[in-house]
Amino acid sequence: MALFINDECISCGACISECPNTAIYDAGETWTMADGTALDDDTEHDPISEDHTFIVSDKCTECVGFYDEPQCVSVCPVDAIHPDPNHQESKEDLLAKKQRLHGE
């Protein structure tokens, strides 16, 4: 399943550069599917949170296809990143998502 960032987040930004899918954005930042992927959809979407750093679930593969563990979780100093019960996906789903994002 994709991960999400809860209200414990202090917006330190440490997780952002760890994401292999560019799925993590600063509070209030617009985002696109094309950022950091092989997709050409550069439609700008509204921020998911104005209050703290957020994860775009359509771009989060829980790091499947890149790493054994979610990289963002391991660097978060306040344990603010958790599985999102609203976006449950199997490992196979996550691998297929990674292949859709990166074309490989």
User: Where in 21-60 is the site for ligand SF4 (CB under 6 A)?
Assistant: 21, 23-24, 53, 55, 60
102 vs 63: CA distance, rounded Å = 13
CB 79 within 8 A of CB 54: no
Strands 54-55 and 81-83: unpaired
Residue closer to ligand SF4 (CB basis): 11 or 35: 11
Q: Considering only residues 48, 62, 84, 101, which one is a binding residue for ligand SF4 as defined by CB under 6 A? A: 62
Q: Considering only residues 15, 33, 48, 101, which one is a binding residue for ligand SF4 as defined by CB under 6 A? A: 15
Residues that bind ligand SF4 (CB under 6 A): 3, 5, 9-15, 18-19, 21, 23-24, 53, 55, 60-63, 70-72, 75-76, 78, 80-81
